[in-house]
Structure 1
Amino acid sequence: MSTVTTPVSDAPTPTDRVERAFLRIAEVHRPEVWITLREKEDVLADARDVEARVAAGERLPLAGLLLAVKDNVDVAGLPTTAACPDFSYPATVTASGVARLVAQGAVVLGKTNLDQFATGLVGTRSPYGAVRCGWDPDRVSGGSSSGSAVAVALGIADIGIGTDTAGSGRVPAALHGIVGLKLTLGVIPTHGVVPACIDYDCLTVLAPDLGGAATAARIMVGAEPRDPRSRVWPADVRLAAPAAPVVAVPRIEDLADLCPEYLAAFSATVAGLEATGVETRSVDISGLLEAARLLYDGAVVAERYAAIGTFLGAGPAGADPTVAAIVAAAKTPAAHELVADQDALVRAKATAAATLAGCDALLLPTTTEHPTIAAVQADPIAINRRMGTYTNFCNLLDMAAVAVPGTPTAQGNPFGVMVVVPAFGDQVAVDLAARLAAVDAPTLVEGGAELAVFGAHLRGQALHFQLEEIGARFEGETVTTDAYRLYALDTVPPKPGLVRRGAGLGSPIVGEVFRVSHAGLGRFLAALPAPMTLTAVELSDGRSVVGFGCTHDAVDGATDITDHGGWVAYRTA
């Protein structure tokens, strides 16, 4: 196969990026990727504005990065078509997730093609043309976020914005060897998105690498008053995966829908993950796969009719016949059937929790195969349905998923996997995906409080597991000012006591800083045994953070170990 190209970073200016993008657009000649490609001069004008902002001193983490936005997501000044010409309307307000990226320096290149009304996983259901795979034009690109994925995979855009209800932001990522982030429902607002199934829609990020995807997603998250379904990270959100995680994998019988080359690639991916120190555990995911069928075979599909059924029922020109048939059938479920299926989903969530008990995440193949366009045209329903086998349940069960490349197939073609976690476990999924990608784990979830530890809670020490239990994230090593003395306390397990004596009356003490959720810090404090305390600790870099100390009377008669410089050095000695 020919490899997918991605931009080479040599610190180009925003205008350089635009020039390169338009050269690449001409080079690859994939007009079906775009529904509305902006005029080059308009994009250059936006890039110059970004350069002026940077020159004026603004810190813009996305300065000049180029966005390809799926055309069911509003961008002010551009039409939104949802890949149906008769549906088109001029957007007057930019979707909040995209607006947040633009505010941080990103520049919109244009609006991309998709499976019409985000109904499909193949990328062929569009009157604007089937979007061809970036590395093999005879194969499908995957949908419904097809255009955005191909724009990224071909090295045109730095960030692709897609949506994902059934897997639309993950399947095309898998077929192109790029990253697709589908976060917990609502943490990236869907304001400005044409609904597909409004309770299960997500805005997603496609990018060449995990770091870039996480940076964009981190900027997009946050409450949105214009989206009543938007959510924020909870007070007890986990900020890291444990150092020795346990990952669930499906039984062999649950992988029956995988084509042979994908089954071999998945086995190799699991082995590679185990080689990083991850423990894997075989689990029965049949309950999850059964729940996945409710998205199209159950009454939940009525949400698609509620979104666009009346419009498509009028027989507009340009309506894709497969999409129109799916949506028309969504009119028939009765109210009591919807109630029954909603109850089934509640039960399925409990099943999922039981299935994954004791595990930090679930590793799945993203999709089952990579069909040709001709095969999908000959069998548009069955292949599409099969490709969503492992993706359809995620939003129904309020789970998050990070799609990353796995071990390529024996033919050298891309193969993708997903790290799937319960709601708000997104950072855990990113951390585990980083292991698969052999990269440093980027920060997705910000916030929390810094906590300095100096003894038994240090990494490798007896009580460090308590930090892992609350999802604490290691931030780095540190030392105190010279105002502190350290004592060996007579406790079980052994631990030190840090006491402030005053500037110059102690010595710098080595410790570690972790970031913990606010609820996790409160839980820590509530369970803290005497004589330990949590108090402000002064660090040598001038910061003051919450840190472990002890009451002054606890060190009466205790051994002063200050001269060792830290607990680990004392224990080693």
Structure 2
Amino acid sequence: MDLSISQLHTSYANGDTTPRDIISKLHEEIQASDSAIWISIVSEDRLEGYLAKLDGESPETLPLFGVPFAIKDNIDLEGSPTTAGCPDYSFDPDKDAFVVDSLIAAGAIPMGKTNLDQFATGLVGVRSPYGVPANPFNPDYVPGGSSSGSAVAVARDLVTFSLGTDTAGSGRVPAGLNELIGVKPSFGLLSCSGVVPACRSLDCVSIFTKNPADAEIVLNAAKGFDSEDEYSRKPSQSHWFRADSFTFGVPEQDQSEFFGDSEAEALFYQGIERLKALGGTPVTIDFSAFLEAALLLYEGPWVSERFAAIESFLLEKPDSVYPVTRKIIEGGGTPKAVDAFRSQYRLKELKRKADSVLATVDLIVTPTAGTAYTVEEVEADPVKLNSNLGYYTNFMNLLDCCACAIPVGRLEAKGGVPWGITLFAPAFSDEALLSLSSRFLAPEKNYLPTLPEDWIEVVVCGAHMRGLPLNFQLTDRGARFLGEAKTSDCYRLFALPATESIPPRPGITRTKDGEGNAYAVERWAVPADQFGSFVAAIPSPLGFGKVVIEDGNRVSGFLCEEIDTHDAEDISHLSGWREYLESLTGK
């Protein structure tokens, strides 16, 4: 069954099926599915309560109308116990987690709570007293963790999407091993109210889907500022780039690690070639700051946050905690305060270095995990192999990046286990990463760049164009070139004289439609937080208004009042400013 949001909504709109029919069928399939996927399943009576709230609604009124989802069992759902993978820790929440409430309000239907590495500590999916969810592609191999059940539920088409958490890679490693999209949002973009903390200062709620379009819809429905979550953040200016013209960082070869898996290495470089084919330019980067930051998460004092989260429970009921998990978390009780400060200082140094690397590219691409391991291998060496799976993931929240894991291929030597790459960039690049992920997985589709809400399109017609003296006023503000265009044929063009500090520049004035000419312009996208300073830098007699371009759209751009053109040279017979400059050179 195709459970994508678009397909479900089309079927609902056409009357082919109803949310009740879909939810009833899935409830039966869930009950008959691998029991290790689920810790608790929502009853039919409770499901009817959620469905009843959809009466009178439709896909047009609710973005997630009738869409089934699963919830990692360290995230609260009222009416279902929260266990964090530990039966003795179980409690009954009195309300939904903020993010769950947001999704239900958008029309989504919660189907149940999913299994996890206990207390969200692990990347393997085998550290749970509730069993090991079988990897759908090869049950001999780990499903990845800690969000194991959430990933497998989506991979097995039991739900459209699921929620996980991602502190060290728990939303990306399972995605890579289950052929899914794994979104690790910008820290604080999704509230963690109602989430059992692992590392409270780093935790993120993550999203699993089968395609980037669904992930974007879910992300938009789930995000929102939560005043009750002290780590919740209102989005700042987004980091955006075109998905058909971008630069991407690739770690130096001696900094890449595949743990002897030559097939995974080959798939990684295939992924790089696919990014190049989309319009990407690879840039070799020094990855050392990222790798050193990753070591701080478990080898530094941050493991003390895990200890702080369950200290009283661990001290009272130590035997209730899974042995490997207990050993890791108990280690958090010994670091000294001075260790925490030293590590904070070192992290600041590493972040400065990492930021300088990120500033040279639009994004960085790495493997999601260097290889895949069998359940037997992990049980024989649980700490080392878990650490290997986190080689490319543990630094992400420490360095305040967002990420999207996407599939690339399968490891045939490992019985067809999926394998993928991760795209990551500075915080609030979420939309750009999902757009590129969509192109990566469906390159045959036409790509039309869609600007985020906090970017403004402008057209420039003179010295701000590429290669001309004032172009830096755009590029220094992080503006992105969108393409060349022409105005509508309702303008006249003048050459305004130079001053001591300002080079010659064009002024265009509006006439009646069809009584003027069309002129060459460039389309640029400017971050909204930079737009005001850009406009303020424009000297008289130029101003800013709406320019009609050839497709009929009105875009912000330079205009000039006719009264200010009396002493200017009328160059309306030319095609644009570049032709005028060429005519000067030829004189």
Same fold (TM over 0.5): yes
- Asked if residue 451 in structure 1 is aligned to residue 450 in structure 2, the reply is no
Of residues 177, 180, 184, the one that matches 1:178 is 180
Letter in 2 for 1:559: I
Alignment of 1:516-555 (within 5 A): 516-528=526-538, 531-536=541-546, 546-552=556-562, 553-554=564-565
Residues 127 and 319 of structure 1 are in contact (CA less than 8 Å); yes or no, is this contact kept in structure 2?
no
Of residues 21, 40, 47, the one that matches 1:43 is 47
Gaps of 5+ in 2: 13-18, 582-587
- Aligned counterpart, 2:256: 255
RMSD: 3.6
- Aligned counterpart, 2:442: 438
Residues 538 and 545 of structure 1 are in contact (CA less than 8 Å); yes or no, is this contact kept in structure 2?
yes
Of residues 566, 572, 583, the one that matches 1:560 is 572
- Distance verdict in 2 for CA 1:415–1:117, change over 3 Å: same
Distance in 1 separating the partners of 2:422 and 2:333? 32
Of residues 22, 33, 56, the one that matches 1:17 is 22
Alignment of 1:51-90 (within 5 A): 51-54=55-58, 59-90=61-92
Letter in 2 for 1:300: W
- Aligned counterpart, 1:119: 121
- Aligned counterpart, 1:400: 402
Residues 127 and 318 of structure 1 are in contact (CA less than 8 Å); yes or no, is this contact kept in structure 2?
no
Q: List per-residue Cα deviations over 1:183-204 (Å, max 9, x = no partner).
A: 2211212111111001110011
Alignment of 1:36-435 (within 5 A): 36-54=40-58, 59-234=61-236, 236-241=237-242, 244-258=245-259, 259-315=261-317, 318-409=320-411, 411=413, 413-435=417-439
Letter in 1 for 2:493: Y
- Distance verdict in 2 for CA 1:37–1:486, change over 3 Å: farther
Displacement of 1:22: 2.7
Residues 250 and 283 of structure 1 are in contact (CA less than 8 Å); yes or no, is this contact kept in structure 2?
yes
- Compute the TM-score of the two structures, normalised by the length of structure 1: 0.87
> What is the SS of the residue equivalent to 2:396?
helix
Distance in 1 separating the partners of 2:271 and 2:510? 50
- Aligned counterpart, 2:585: none
Displacement of 1:145: 0.9
- Distance verdict in 2 for CA 1:266–1:63, change over 3 Å: same
Displacement of 1:351: 1.7
Residues 427 and 443 of structure 1 are in contact (CA less than 8 Å); yes or no, is this contact kept in structure 2?
no
Displacement of 1:401: 1.2
- Distance verdict in 2 for CA 1:213–1:528, change over 3 Å: same
Q: List per-residue Cα deviations over 1:534-567 (Å, max 9, x = no partner).
A: 12457999987643323432474423369x8x99
Displacement of 1:417: 0.8
Letter in 1 for 2:315: G
Letter in 1 for 2:99: G
Residues 147 and 170 of structure 2 are in contact (CA less than 8 Å); yes or no, is this contact kept in structure 1?
yes
- Distance verdict in 2 for CA 1:454–1:570, change over 3 Å: farther
Residues 268 and 407 of structure 1 are in contact (CA less than 8 Å); yes or no, is this contact kept in structure 2?
no
Residues 133 and 150 of structure 1 are in contact (CA less than 8 Å); yes or no, is this contact kept in structure 2?
yes
Deviates most, 447-456 or 278-287: 447-456
Distance in 2 separating the partners of 1:293 and 1:260? 25
Distance in 2 separating the partners of 1:467 and 1:51? 50
Gaps of 5+ in 1: none
> What is the SS of the residue equivalent to 1:535?
strand
Q: List per-residue Cα deviations over 1:435-480 (Å, max 9, x = no partner).
A: 4323577999853254342646999997888767655679999998
Residues 165 and 201 of structure 1 are in contact (CA less than 8 Å); yes or no, is this contact kept in structure 2?
yes
Residues 170 and 181 of structure 1 are in contact (CA less than 8 Å); yes or no, is this contact kept in structure 2?
yes
Displacement of 1:518: 2.1
Letter in 1 for 2:40: T
Residues 458 and 511 of structure 1 are in contact (CA less than 8 Å); yes or no, is this contact kept in structure 2?
no
- Distance verdict in 2 for CA 1:495–1:270, change over 3 Å: farther
Deviates most, 162-171 or 294-303: 294-303
Deviates most, 162-171 or 354-363: 354-363
Is the radius of gyration larger for structure 1 or structure 2?
A: 2
- Compute the TM-score of the two structures, normalised by the length of structure 2: 0.85
- Distance verdict in 2 for CA 1:545–1:41, change over 3 Å: farther
Aligned length: 561
